[in-house]
Structure 1
């Protein structure tokens, strides 16, 4: 997993969990985060079942860090993003982690369902490499520069 450097020792590294099954989108996101101005570690899992195992430190994820932020696609195999979001927001140990839905779906029902399940935001992935990178950079400017995350447990 990439770590961006160098940063002042006082800068807190942000732990981000990307839940995404599209390899091109994973690669674009990794590239954008490598250029981030804020220190971060991006962890990638490829479906909802794997995401919950990561979040609950199960199996191969027994030493996984608690993410400060989750970026999650909706349309994934085995367990979709809305199902995972519902589980996160009803689990007392995970409920405080902000979850941003990052998806290609522009369906009103997906937007409504995401916010009803307490998503922290909903971002539609733009089409095209440059547009996608611009969107990730805008995300970084807000979420990684100005937002204060809950303390890690």
Structure 2
């Protein structure tokens, strides 16, 4: 049996985080979600010894203190975290934000649909894609990246 897809969601806005969790709850047979309202808390958890890494991390851009680009930059600068796929999940359609996300090596950029049923379809597509694309066997943080 294949283990559930592990997704972390970092979004400082409580209503957006709640809505995202509710959509993922409809897919609970395929995915588990770990929510974070604080980007720093998520980074701290990723950096702790023997951390269990997510298969994919969903990251909002506009957050106080550490924004999504700060988190992405920090992850890609850390040899232990650089291979974790990061999907920017945001309301921003700004060309500059999209370009910056890819310049910082985001795996994908997804603009949240304002229509709830469309958002559900976005999440379902995301889960389907990453369930088939993930690295199934993350190594310990003491080594560099996923086991091969």
TM-score when scaled to structure 1?
A: 0.82
1:84 paired with 2:75, answer no
1:50 paired with 2:41, answer yes
CA distance in 2, matches of 1:47, 1:33: 19
Q: Is contact 1:28-1:129 (8 Å) kept?
A: no
* Counterpart position of 2:143: none
Unaligned runs of 5+ in 1: 1-9
Q: Mean alpha-carbon deviation: is it higher for 96-105 or for 28-37?
A: 28-37
Tell me the SS of whatever aligns to 2:33.
strand
Q: Deviations over 1:13-59 (max 9, x none)?
A: 222110011222212221221222753221111132122112112xx
* Counterpart position of 1:110: 97
Give the counterpart of 1:95 among 67, 76, 82.
Answer: 82
TM-score when scaled to structure 2?
A: 0.85
CA distance in 2, matches of 1:38, 1:111: 32
Q: Mean alpha-carbon deviation: is it higher for 85-94 or for 21-30?
A: 21-30
Q: C-alpha displacement at 1:150, in angstroms?
A: 5.7
Q: Output the aligned Cα RMSD.
A: 1.8
CA distance in 2, matches of 1:121, 1:14: 17
CA distance in 2, matches of 1:64, 1:91: 14
CA distance in 2, matches of 1:150, 1:141: 15
* Counterpart position of 1:33: 24
CA distance in 2, matches of 1:140, 1:102: 13
| Count of paired positions | 139
